[in-house]
Amino acid sequence: MEFSLIDRIRNLTAQHRDDVRLGIGDDAALLTVPTGQELAVAIDTIVEGVHFPVGTDAADIGWKALAVNLSDLAAMGATPAWALLALTLPSADSAFVDGFAAGFAQLAQTYRLALVGGDTTRGALTISVAVHGFVPPGKALARAGAQAGDAVLVTGTLGDAAGGLRCVQNYRHSDDAQTRYLIERLNRPTPRVAAGLALRGRASACIDVSDGLLADLGHVCAASRVGAELDAALLPRSSALLDLFDESTSRDFALSGGDDYELCFTVPAQQVAAVQADLAKLGCGATRIGRAVEGEGITVRDRDGHPLASRRPGWDHFNA
Ligand code: ADP
Ligand code: MG
């Protein structure tokens, strides 16, 4: 049974690449890293009931398992190439596996990413994906590197996934287009791979927003030994989020909600306009939300310039 599941996955995700000398089917895959490139590798696990609601569609789970990992490559400015998939399933459910593989493959095709191996075991529904990508030496986007005075920007909009989760929790599934939009943002996040590539050599620091803006920008600040000042009025929020939630709820979602998978990055102030013009061409756009400052910690100011009371910084699995 395990083997027929693996065959289904292999068939549904088939993607030819010249740099895959041996893919699924042997004891290990054999891969050729292009000459003169560094290998960027990352792994992320998603667990039912923790990272996606119980009852999420199999294809959405497949998409999201890969998307959260591609988001890490995007945040490094790496070009995706290969993935490994460790699948833990409660039962040998071939319908689930087919749906999962279809969602995974749909996103993988966009990047010609090849699934080159994995592992299949029985247990509570848990999916680990490891991704591998290429980046020219010295060009990766690190968390360290932001300088006081740099502008802080974020791609796309923030808080949509938290809004979508609230809708799911309230059993608002497809009442209207806005609810569907937010739930789609939760279940099918768009990894900002092209934006990450465009930021190579330009962003002084970069991270993907998986645990909430304050938590993730906090990591950039700590690694870069700077603080940040954000202007709450500038936080980019979708019209769906603003229409379905009141101002303070949507602001909290944008500051502390997880699962958006946008990029938060810093650039020298004089380069903001050029970077924004380039990211606008890629469709996601980027909004300036504040600046890096001397010191430490993040201050968020309201419309009148008053600091907002500090709040839950973001999601911490061991501190929930
Ligand atoms: P082994 O016992 O040598 O680890 P497995 O039976 O676990 O071999 O896997 C057989 C082949 O199928 C290997 O090439 C492995 O990488 C691949 N594989 C197993 N599970 C998956 C999966 N969920 N997705 C992709 N490839 C898989
Ligand atoms: Mg194995």
Q: Do 103 and 244 belong to one domain? A: no
Q: Do 115 and 160 belong to one domain? A: no
Q: What is the pLDDT of residues 29-42, one digit of tens each?
A: 999 999 999 999 99
Per DSSP, the three-state class of 30 is strand
Spatial separation of the C-alpha atoms in residues 277 and 246, rounded to whole Å: 31
Q: Do 198 and 51 belong to one domain? A: no
> What CATH number is given to the structural domain containing 279?
3.90.650.10
Q: Do 62 and 156 belong to one domain? A: no
- Residue 313 covered by a domain: no
- Nearest-CA residue for ligand 1 atom 22 is 118
- Residue 315 covered by a domain: no
Enclosing H/E stretch for 31: strand 30-31
Query: Does 6 contact ligand 1 (Cβ within 6 A)?
Result: yes
- Residue 11 covered by a domain: yes
Nearest to 13 by CA among 68, 90, 73, 87: 87
What average pLDDT does the segment 132-155 reach? 97
Q: Which atom of ligand 1 is nearest to the CA of 26?
A: 14
pLDDT on residue 53: 85
Whether residue 149 is predicted with pLDDT greater than 60 in this model: the reply is yes
Q: Do 72 and 155 belong to one domain? A: no
Q: What is the pLDDT of residues 170-201, one digit of tens each?
A: 877 777 999 999 999 999 999 999 999 999 99
- Nearest-CA residue for ligand 1 atom 14 is 25
Q: Do 192 and 224 belong to one domain? A: yes
Query: Does 129 contact ligand 1 (Cβ within 6 A)?
Result: no
pLDDT on residue 313: 55
In the reported structure, the alpha carbon of residue 34 is separated from the centroid of ligand 1 by a whole-number distance in angstroms of: 25
Q: Do 41 and 165 belong to one domain? A: no
- Residue 316 covered by a domain: no
Query: Does 117 contact ligand 1 (Cβ within 6 A)?
Result: yes
Distances in Å between the Cα of 258 and the Cα atoms of 91, 98, 190, 268 are 29, 28, 14, 27
Query: Does 168 contact ligand 1 (Cβ within 6 A)?
Result: no
Among the candidates 86, 104, 135, a domain finishes at 135
The verdict on pTM exceeding 0.85 is yes
Number of domain units in the chain: 2
* Triad 58, 61, 66: Cα angle to 5°: 135
pLDDT on residue 320: 42
Q: What is the pLDDT of residues 56-75, one digit of tens each?
A: 999 999 999 999 999 999 99
Task: Write out the two tokens for 286.
Answer: 């980027």
Average pLDDT of the residues of the chain: 94
In the reported structure, the alpha carbon of residue 284 is separated from the centroid of ligand 2 by a whole-number distance in angstroms of: 38
Q: Which atom of ligand 1 is nearest to the CA of 2?
A: 6
In the reported structure, the alpha carbon of residue 118 is separated from the centroid of ligand 2 by a whole-number distance in angstroms of: 7
- Nearest-CA residue for ligand 1 atom 9 is 119
- Residue 57 covered by a domain: yes
Q: Which atom of ligand 1 is nearest to the CA of 120?
A: 20
Q: What is the pLDDT of residues 229-238, one digit of tens each?
A: 999 999 999 9
Query: Does 9 contact ligand 1 (Cβ within 6 A)?
Result: yes
Q: What is the pLDDT of residues 270-320, one digit of tens each?
A: 999 999 999 999 999 999 999 999 999 999 998 888 898 655 555 555 554
- Residue 320 covered by a domain: no
In the reported structure, the alpha carbon of residue 28 is separated from the centroid of ligand 2 by a whole-number distance in angstroms of: 9
In the reported structure, the alpha carbon of residue 50 is separated from the centroid of ligand 1 by a whole-number distance in angstroms of: 25
Q: Do 128 and 180 belong to one domain? A: no
Note down the domain range covering 108.
2-135
Q: Do 99 and 159 belong to one domain? A: no
